[in-house]
Structure 1
Amino acid sequence: MPVNSSGHHASRRASPAGLARDGLSRAREQLQPWWERIRTASRRIAEPISGVVSPLGWVVLAVVVLLWVLASTFGWQEAAVAALLGASLLLLGIGFILGKSSYGVELDLARTRVAVGDRAVGSVAVSNTSAKALLPAALELPVGSATAIFHLPRLTPGQVHEDLFSIPTQRRDVIVVGPVRSVRADPLGLLRRQVLWTDPVDLYVHPRTVPLVGSAAGFIRDLEGLPTKDLSNADVSFHALREYVPGDDRRHIHWKTTARTGTLMVRQFEETRRSHLAVALSINTGEFETVDEFELAVSVAGSIGLQAIREQRNLSVLTQAGPLRSETGRNLLDDMTRVQGRSGRDGVLDLARTTADTVPNASVVFFIVGPHVTPSQLRSSAAAIPLGIRCIAVRCVQEEDQGRATIGDLTVLTLNDLDDLAMILRKAAA
């Protein structure tokens, strides 16, 4: 930078373009808060309008604008009359949606968790909380993809009207019930205003399960833990005696044998494995012929998992989409309600490898599969599980006879009816 004779730096003169840019930047910064306020206000205005005007109303509004432009451009009186008629219909519709209702609405489901085929019932109680009588009206209750309509009579102040309803539960699903809403609309359906009165409620339609009682519950054989071939110096399953080596716990010295042989002898134990059941449910739709076979597989996995929870066994339930919660029966069935089949390359072999990595300490592994899984795939899946873990495969079919077979050390059960699951498992425990 140049220096003048007095030793001071000479100031650089700013260009007009630079000053203009600085001015625009400052103006933009000052106007930004106001612009955000305008955008927020316009959004608040547009959202209610967009929610009130029905699709048919938007069509009528667009036609009115088009006709008005044609009438103004070409002087078409017919277009002007038609535009005026459409605008009048929209203005008349405003009168139908104006007004305020004072309702007290309670949505009550008798049970929020039912099994497939069980009856799900609920009620909607509506009370007039205003000081004047309310005219007859209609309330809508969304139930999944359907909508139920309740017609309210004239309600005097404080009067309560209650309607009962039932929900079909033919298939496993999470059904969103509600929110209850009141609707005001014009006769032509151009405008529609709705008010929400309750929060939505989730109805879980759990898969159907069957109890496993008696000898059928014996599919977990290791009530005290399955012994392994791994030797340990301290466990609950006595195996043999061996000579004492420095470092052994002296509490395990067998004094009677020591006195007889004259050599220090200590007890040696087999490691035991606490009962831990792993249920591997394949959700690959390519392994199933029909939807009913897939639903049978979900029910089988749920029934076995619930029995393990009742017996307070450690339980892990896995699918190709990841593990399911299994701390309680409710958590397990809730997650199984959300299980969906998916197509892809991840088959039962990939699921077996994931199970081996996730639950390496399992004592029993159940593979729940469809009829399109081949014996070779089952053999490879069992081989992916570490040695010492018992593997049982349940093939869920519709067209084949039930029975039991073996592929190496793998027990394969064929099931076509959920009610026969206990009988099939008794065969596996034999």
Structure 2
Amino acid sequence: MLTRTGAAMACAAVALVALGVWADYPELVTLGLAAAATLLLAAVWLVAAPHLTVVREVRPHRVFEGTAAQGTLTVTNAGRRRSPPLMVTETVGGHRTTVPVPALATGDSCTVGYALPVTKRGRYLIPPVELGHSDPLRLLHRGQSRGSELVVHVYPRVHPLAMIASGGPQDAEGPTNSSAPLGGAAFHSLREYVPGDDWRRIHWGATARTGTVMARQVVVPDEPRQLVVLDTSAAPYSTASFEDAVRIAASFCVAAESTGLPFRLRTTAAVERESARTALEFLSTVDKDATGRGLAALPDQLRDVVSDTQGVALTVVTGRVEAVTAQLLMLLRPRFLSISLAQLTTGDPVARPRGVLAVSAASSDQFASSWNRLVLR
């Protein structure tokens, strides 16, 4: 590929030859042919590409907003001749980062590190790196793609949040149900043995009576379930406030998991996640839904999470709350252990639903400060 200098040289060669022929000026023709010959020699120089091996690493593959991901590239000259200086180009999210690699003797290696421009939340697909070198006069450039595609997730920034103690203390031998997660310490029932079960949990008495190998099913006992609902409809938000709402939803998910409370993340677009990692990966790419019903869809979406044997604490994250939405939350209040409302708005809240712990803030930082001050007082 022609560089800017090479393109100028090519234009000059054509112009000089044409002008020399038109003016019957052999010296101009000679200069034009010399320029063309220089381009030809540059092309011959690039025919013999260096034999290089490239190892690329990106760490970490998952970062939070405001932290850096680092790329490391190790280039080894596996050829029989000295490799020319190289330019390594990394493309991330439309931004190109160029890193120079010096000339390498046969068998020599060079490791270069560089920061990846992954500052905003998102899922970044990083294509193979491009190794490029030029002729000594920088007239032509040749690039080769090396390596494979990589994916980097940039999670929303997370604030430390205090969790509300709802539903009583966690008890390792408390009540259980069949939907509780496995792996706890509370006995729930007997079931047939399946390969992979711990043989120490085989119930030999039941096995002798039934003729089928039976095992004890131990689960995590019932605990107050945390349900975080992120409103993804477009109406309540500005562009900045939606980003803050995503950060707050992520903060509640991380806070629940760090305190050992089971939780679910749902959106008003009917997407659900049940672990911090999957929730954060989803929240790294979530966007507003211009056609969504927003919190008006809550009564239909929440029917399956409320039961007589399992308490649920609901947290709703949204933008500006109107009076109709406040009334809806008050109607839902008796069905939950508690309802918390995070409002991202720059003005005073339109409505404050009774019986709901509502905190209004203009940013996620202000919300975290106000929430912790209210909960920990």
TM-score in same-fold range (> 0.5):
yes
For the residue of structure 2 that corresponds to 1:408, the secondary structure is: coil
For the residue of structure 2 that corresponds to 1:285, the secondary structure is: coil
For the residue of structure 1 that corresponds to 2:235, the secondary structure is: helix
Query: Contact 1:284/1:344 (CA < 8 Å) preserved in 2?
Result: yes
Give TM-score, length-normalised by structure 1.
Answer: 0.59
Query: Contact 1:220/1:277 (CA < 8 Å) preserved in 2?
Result: no
Rate the CA distance shift 1:123–1:398 in 2: closer, same or farther, 3 A: farther
Aligned to 1:80: none
Aligned to 1:303: 251
Aligned to 1:341: 288
Q: How far did residue 338 of structure 1 move? A: 1.5
Aligned to 1:126: 75
For the residue of structure 2 that corresponds to 1:298, the secondary structure is: helix
Does residue 107 (structure 1) correspond to residue 52 (structure 2)? The answer is: no
Query: Contact 1:400/1:416 (CA < 8 Å) preserved in 2?
Result: no
Give TM-score, length-normalised by structure 2.
Answer: 0.66
How do 1:191-230 residues align onto structure 2 when only pairs under 5 Å count?
194-212=143-161, 216-217=162-163, 219-224=164-169
Rate the CA distance shift 1:418–1:345 in 2: closer, same or farther, 3 A: closer
For the residue of structure 1 that corresponds to 2:335, the secondary structure is: coil
Aligned to 1:79: none
How do 1:30-429 residues align onto structure 2 when only pairs under 5 Å count?
92=40, 95=44, 98-183=47-132, 194-212=143-161, 216-217=162-163, 219-224=164-169, 274-289=223-238, 291-327=239-275, 329-350=276-297, 352-361=298-307, 363-371=312-320, 373-383=321-331, 387-400=335-348, 406-420=352-366, 421=368, 423-425=370-372, 427=374
Q: How far did residue 161 of structure 1 move? A: 2.0
For structure 1, which runs of at least 5 residues remain unmatched after alignment?
1-51, 55-84, 226-233, 237-271
CA distance in 1, matches of 2:333, 2:117: 41
Query: Contact 2:85/2:133 (CA < 8 Å) preserved in 1?
Result: no
CA distance in 2, matches of 1:204, 1:302: 14
Q: How far did residue 357 of structure 1 move? A: 3.2
Rate the CA distance shift 1:132–1:193 in 2: closer, same or farther, 3 A: closer
Query: Contact 1:324/1:335 (CA < 8 Å) preserved in 2?
Result: no
Q: How far did residue 292 of structure 1 move? A: 1.9
Q: Higher Cα Rg: structure 1 or 2?
A: 1
Query: Contact 1:366/1:391 (CA < 8 Å) preserved in 2?
Result: yes
- What are the superposed Cα offsets for residues 169-224 of structure 1, whole Å, 9 maximum, x if unpaired? 4421222334112246899x999764322122222221111123xxx33x141134
- What are the superposed Cα offsets for residues 315-334 of structure 1, whole Å, 9 maximum, x if unpaired? 1101133334332x333222
Query: Contact 1:360/1:386 (CA < 8 Å) preserved in 2?
Result: no
Percent identity, aligned pairs only, is 19
Q: How far did residue 153 of structure 1 move? A: 2.3
CA distance in 2, matches of 1:385, 1:98: 74
CA distance in 1, matches of 2:51, 2:364: 50
Q: In proportion to residue count, which structure has more helix?
A: 1
Rate the CA distance shift 1:125–1:425 in 2: closer, same or farther, 3 A: same
Query: Contact 2:322/2:351 (CA < 8 Å) preserved in 1?
Result: no
Q: Which has the larger displacement, 404-413 or 171-180?
A: 404-413
